[in-house]
Homo-oligomer: A and B are copies of this chain.
Amino acid sequence: MDIRSKIRLFVDSPLGEGQSILLARDQANYLFNVMRLNIGDFISVFNGKDGEWQAEVLQANKRKGIIIVKNQSMPQLLPPDVWLLFAPIKKTRTDFIVEKATEMGVSRICPVFTDYTNSDRIKQSRLQAHSIEAAEQCGGTYVPPVDELSTLTSVLKSWPKERHLLFCDEHKVGENVKSMKATKSDKWAILIGPEGGFSDSEVMHLKSLEFVTSISLGPRILRADTAAVAALAIWQMQMGDWK
């Protein structure tokens, strides 16, 4: 069978031919109640590491169900090794950033607390669930892990020096792509500030670090969620898997 079901489900189980999987209650509800699938129907499943597989419904009721894995329909596709560091903003827009980062293809999502960050907590499990949903939706086979919130200071203190950090600076003009392309690195991260931008001392500190390059995202001031997508698009096109 080389038909891929458009219904895609993330499952937290190993995937291989003949493997049977007991569905979680919310998954069973979605498949059999919302989508009205029946025994014998196929869905696509992925677990973030074994690619995408087609699986057949073996048992179906509204609260539970069993599927059996048949054949692989897509190999595992890892995104390029780029992290997104962002300062949490309002709830909906934070959810959007996680969704967009997953669609755009990042390897890790790191919420950081900066001088002008308003929101001092996140719910990691909720953001991780958003990332899973976005992966189901966008046809990807990888789910970026979402870290717990850390301060930017502590993240920079323990930074792995071989990873290059692109910092989106509202005041910078020009020379973007050139300075990005001139940097020889295969590990990257992109840092997006909160709505109020970065403090002067944060900007000074960032600019003093050897592993940091600053780029501009044009003459208008972008919201944090717009900036995340824009910066990732430019990076993917120049350095990542859109080349």
Contact = CB atoms under 8 A, between A and B. Distances in A.
Counting every copy of the chain, the complex holds 2
Interface string A201-239: 000000000000000111111110010011111101100
Contacts of A241: 218-219
B77 A219 contact: yes
Contacts of A234: 233-234, 237
A231 B234 CA distance: 9
A140 interface: yes
Interface stretch (A36-44, A47-55, A97-105, A152-160): A97-105
A140 to B, nearest CB: 5
Nearest to A173: B242
Contacts of A231: 233
A145 interface: no
Interface in A176-218: 176-177, 216-218
A139 B218 contact: no
A176 B237 contact: yes
Interface of A: 77, 99-100, 103-105, 137-140, 174, 176-177, 216-223, 226, 229-234, 236-237, 240-243
Given A219-B242, A229-B230, 6 more contacts: A99-B226, A105-B218, A138-B221, A226-B229, A234-B234, A234-B237
